[in-house]
Amino acid sequence: MIPEVKRFEDLLTNYFEIDDLQATEIVIAAAVSHKVGWSEMLWLRIIGASGSGKTELLRTLSSQTFCMPMENITAGAIRRGYIVKKDDKTYEPTLLERLNGKLAITKEFATMLTKDVDAQKEIFGLLRSVYDGELTCDYGSEQGHLSQKTHFDWILGSTSYIDKIRSIEYLLGSRFIDIHWETPLNREYAVNKAINNNYSLDTIREALSRAMTDIYQLALTPVTPKLDYISEMADIGASLRSPVMRDNHNDIEDIPEIELGTRMGQSLSRIATGLKMIGVEDADLKPYLARIVFNSMTRIRTAVIKAWISGLTKQSEISARLGVNQGTVSRIVEDIKLLGWKDKWLDTLDGYHIKSGVQTQVMEGSKDDKN
């Protein structure tokens, strides 16, 4: 790891009780990869509990010159055409024009989560076109037919409530990859540390911002690693995040369309390059990428697969471990198999939890089954 990352992490953990340095390094990798100028966009979500430190991490990016804060988003703002100010007839750039070439930072996606289902569908539908680089709209006004081209990376933070709208997003074709931010293991200590912090937030944020600037400026020359497992990981992640629609009786309504892993493969490859830029060796990349694969699925599917990895095979055992009824586990297993599960995927995903300096859980609810 390059010294600038270590210095940033030392500052971050000195001011805040943050255990999840692996997620921190993934976010940093996504940010530094922006300087390369990729043909495809990278949209990364960091999902975690309120007050757990993820917002402060994203704040260090929002102040950077190559970034643009974007704290609210509406369908109207996305598709808005040109606007001419009435006073001096000057042209005001659209949202997509302002974002073009930037790394968008959304510290909290809560405003999006409060919108009704129809509004959410409209937004995610528009974002599909935006991700592909162009949005064409027709207006019943003097603006008429307008095509806007844009290209921007995006890192956004959210609480886990976003999981409730994932099915809508997946049906429209997900463009994001996800990281679940881990809450500090010692919750009471984290609270006490915040209470007893003797530095002003402005001082802390300024120091962290300068350290992030150093990382971005001094990151290594980008070299995309040739990893033979990325294609399989992308296939696993895209397949197992695909939605399976069930009716009110929990019966499967239809055979699902399984997502092809092209977009996820591009995102994993780009994260791998960013990790290389901050000094992670090829041999150490797999746990980071496997984590993204797991975190991009629903939590319950992830928990079942992690139970298989830890050696549990009976649904009754998995049910007892997860604290959910056996019928729920049975439906999740049915969904996973319907989405093309292959037993060899267990070998590909095993070892994901190994990372330097931080212990991670093997499955939801357990932190010491397999280290």
Contacts of 67 (CB under 8 A, 6+ apart): 61, 102, 103, 104, 105
* Spacing of C-alpha 194 from chain mean position: 26
How would residue 342 be classed by pLDDT, with cut points 50, 70 and 90? Answer: very high
Q: Verify that 212 and 239 share a domain, yes or no.
A: no
Same domain, 151 and 32: yes
Higher pLDDT, 220 or 127: 220
Of 15-19, 220-224, 276-280, the one with minimum mean pLDDT is 15-19
207 and 244 fall within a common domain: no
Query: Using CA atoms, how far apart are residues 45 and 299, in angstroms rounded to an integer?
Result: 15
Domain boundary among 218, 242, 260: 218
Residue 216 has pLDDT above 60, yes or no: yes
Could you tell me if 258 and 285 lie in one domain? yes
Residues 163 and 257 in one domain: no
Query: Where does the pLDDT of residue 52 fall: very low under 50, low under 70, confident under 90, or very high at 90 and above?
Result: confident
State the Cα angle at 183 between 180 and 184, rounded to 5°. 140
pLDDT at 185: 75
Q: How many domains does the chain have?
A: 2
Angle between helices 3-15 and 21-33 (to 10 degrees): 130
Higher local confidence (pLDDT), 162 or 339: 339
Query: Do residues 371 and 309 lie in contact, with contact meaning Cβ atoms separated by under 8 Å?
Result: no
Residue 86 clears pLDDT 70, i.e. is over it: no
Cβ neighbours, 10 Å, residue 76: 11
Tell me: do 264 and 298 sit in the same domain.
yes
Of 218, 247, 272, the last residue of a domain is: 218
Q: State residue 367's pLDDT score.
A: 36
- SS3 annotation, 202-247: HHHHHHHHHHHHHHHHHCCCCCCCCCCCHHHHHHHHHHHCCCCCEC
The C-alpha atoms of residue 85 and residue 91 are separated, in whole angstroms, by: 6
Q: How far apart are the first and last CA of the chain?
A: 22
- Radius of gyration in angstroms for the set of CA atoms belonging to the chain, rounded to a whole number: 21
Locate all alpha helices (DSSP H) within the chain, ordered by sequence: 3-15, 21-33, 54-62, 75-79, 95-99, 110-113, 117-131, 166-171, 187-195, 201-218, 230-240, 262-277, 286-295, 299-309, 315-322, 326-338, 345-349
Q: Kind of pairing, strands 153-158 and 43-47?
A: parallel
Helix (H, G, I), strand (E, B) or coil at 270: helix
Q: What is the pLDDT of residue 362?
A: 35
CA atoms within 13 A on the CB side of 209: 14
pLDDT at 364 over 80: no
Residue 370 lies in a domain: no
Which residues 6+ apart lie within 8 Å of 259 measured at CB?
A: 170, 173, 174, 238, 239, 241, 242
Supply the pLDDT for residue 191. 75
Residue 4: how many other CB atoms lie within 10 Å: 20
In a domain, 331, yes or no: yes
Higher pLDDT, 244 or 361: 244
The mean of the pLDDT values for the chain is 85
pLDDT at residue 322 in the model: 95
Q: 8 is written with which tokens?
A: 């940033």
Q: Does a structural domain hold residue 169? A: yes
Q: Measuring CA to CA, how many Å separate 108 from each of 34, 161, 288, 336?
A: 21, 12, 23, 31
Q: Could you say which DSSP state residue 367 is in?
A: S
305 and 238 fall within a common domain: yes
CATH of the domain at 160: 3.40.50
Q: Give the pLDDT of residue 162.
A: 74
The answer to whether residues 236 and 163 belong to one domain is: no
Backbone angles phi, psi at 120, to 5 degrees: -65, -45
Query: What is the pLDDT confidence band of residue 53, given thresholds at 50, 70 and 90?
Result: confident
- Residue 363 covered by a domain: no
Domain containing residue 261 = 230-349
Q: What is the pTM for the complete model shown?
A: 0.87
The SS3 call for residue 338 is helix
Any domain includes 286: yes
pLDDT by residue (tens digit) across 290-337?
999 999 998 999 999 999 999 999 999 999 999 999 999 999 999 999
Domain's final residue, options 159, 191, 218: 218
pLDDT of 288 > 50? The answer is: yes
Q: Which pLDDT band holds residue 140 (cuts at 50, 70, 90)?
A: low
- Say yes or no: 179 and 316 in one domain: no
Mean pLDDT across 108-126? 75
253, pLDDT greater than 60: yes
243 and 281 in a single domain? The answer is yes
The answer to whether residues 211 and 66 belong to one domain is yes
Asked if the structure places residue 302 within a domain, the reply is yes
* 212 in a structural domain: yes
368 in a structural domain: no
Q: Give yes or no: residues 9 and 158 share one domain.
A: yes
